[in-house]
Amino acid sequence: MTYIIVGKSKENQNLTLQEALKRLFGKDLKNSPDVHILNPEEENSIGIEEVKIFQKEMMFKPFEEKFQAGIILEAEKLTHQAQNALLKTLEDTSAYSVFFLCVDNEKNLLQTINSRSQIIYSSAILEVQDETEEEYLNDILDLDLREQFEIIEKYSQDRNLSLEFINSVEKIFHKRLELDIKNGNIDESKKNSAFLNIVQESREKISANCNRRLTLEAMIIQLRA
C-alpha cells in the first residue's frame, strides 16, 4: 500500500507521518531496521540512482515487525524519471511493505502515482498556528464561498476525511445551540437546530457513498443561508 502525505510544512507532514506509523506498527518506533527513509536533505532533486538504492532496501522482508515502511521525504523533489522508476515498485508492493511519500502538493507527483495511492492531508488545523479547533472552524465558516470550496476540495478527496470535516462542523453548531438555549435565544436555537439537521443529512449522504465534494459544497451553501 502507498500513502501520500500532503502538507504545507515539513513539520505538519512529519506529525501526520508519525501518527500513521504509530497506527501501522501499534507503537512509536525509533531507529527501527524496518523503517527505511529516503531523505534528500539539501539536495535539489531525487534522481534514479537514489531511488534504486531505496528500492534495494525495500526488497527484503521485515526484520522485527510485521511490516516495513519505506518513507520518501520531500517527494516533490523526485524527478519524472525517478518517479517512473519508483512506480514499478509501488505497483508490485508486497503485503508486508508500506510506502509513505511526503509532499507539499500531490500535483507534484505523477497522476499514475496518485491513482495508486491513498492521499492523507495533514490536518488543516495543524496548518494554523496558535488557534484552537473551534476558532479555526469558525474562521472556515466565515470565509467567502470560493475559499470554502477550496478547503472542501481537499477534504472531499477521502471519505473518512469528509466525515471528519462534517463531525467538526457539527461540534461548532452543537456548541452554538447549547449557548442559545442557555441564553434563551429561541430564534437562533431554531436556526442552529436546522443547521444540525443539514449536517446530519450530509453525513448520511457521505456514508451512502454520494459524491463527497458535491455533498460538502451543498452543505456549506445551506449553512451560509
Question: Any idea where the domains of the chain sit in the sequence?
Answer: 2-122, 133-223
| CATH code for the part of the protein at 2-122 | 3.40.50.300
Instruction: State yes or no: pLDDT of 18 exceeds 80.
Output: yes
Give the separation between CA 20 and CA 38, rounded to whole angstroms. Answer: 17
The pLDDT, as a whole number, for residue 132 is 40
State the helix-helix crossing angle for 48-57 and 80-91, rounded to 10 degrees: 20
End-to-end CA distance of the chain: 42
Structure-model confidence comparison of residues 31 and 125, the more confident one:
31
| pLDDT tens digit sequence for 118-169 | 888 875 434 433 334 444 455 577 778 888 888 888 888 888 888 888 888 8
Q: C-alpha distances in angstroms, 92 versus 21, 33, 59, 67, 99?
A: 21, 21, 11, 15, 12
Instruction: State yes or no: pLDDT of 84 exceeds 80.
Output: yes
3-state DSSP assignment of residue 71: strand
The pLDDT, as a whole number, for residue 11 is 83
Task: Using a pLDDT cut of 70, give the percent of the chain over it.
Answer: 92
Q: pLDDT averaged over the chain? A: 85
The pLDDT, as a whole number, for residue 37 is 94
The average pLDDT across 169-196 equals 86
Q: Are 120 and 20 in contact (CB under 8 A)?
A: yes
Give the separation between CA 63 and CA 84, rounded to whole angstroms. Answer: 28
The pLDDT, as a whole number, for residue 138 is 57
Structure-model confidence comparison of residues 176 and 215, the more confident one:
215
Least reliable range by pLDDT among 91-95, 102-106, 120-124, 125-129:
125-129
| pLDDT tens digit sequence for 199-217 | 999 999 998 999 999 999 9
Q: Where are the alpha helices (DSSP H) in the chain?
A: 10-25, 48-57, 80-91, 111-114, 133-142, 145-155, 159-182, 186-207, 212-223
| pTM (predicted TM-score) | 0.56
Give the separation between CA 140 and CA 130, rounded to whole angstroms. Answer: 16
The pLDDT, as a whole number, for residue 79 is 95
Closest CA relative to residue 105, chosen from 88, 90, 89, 122? 122
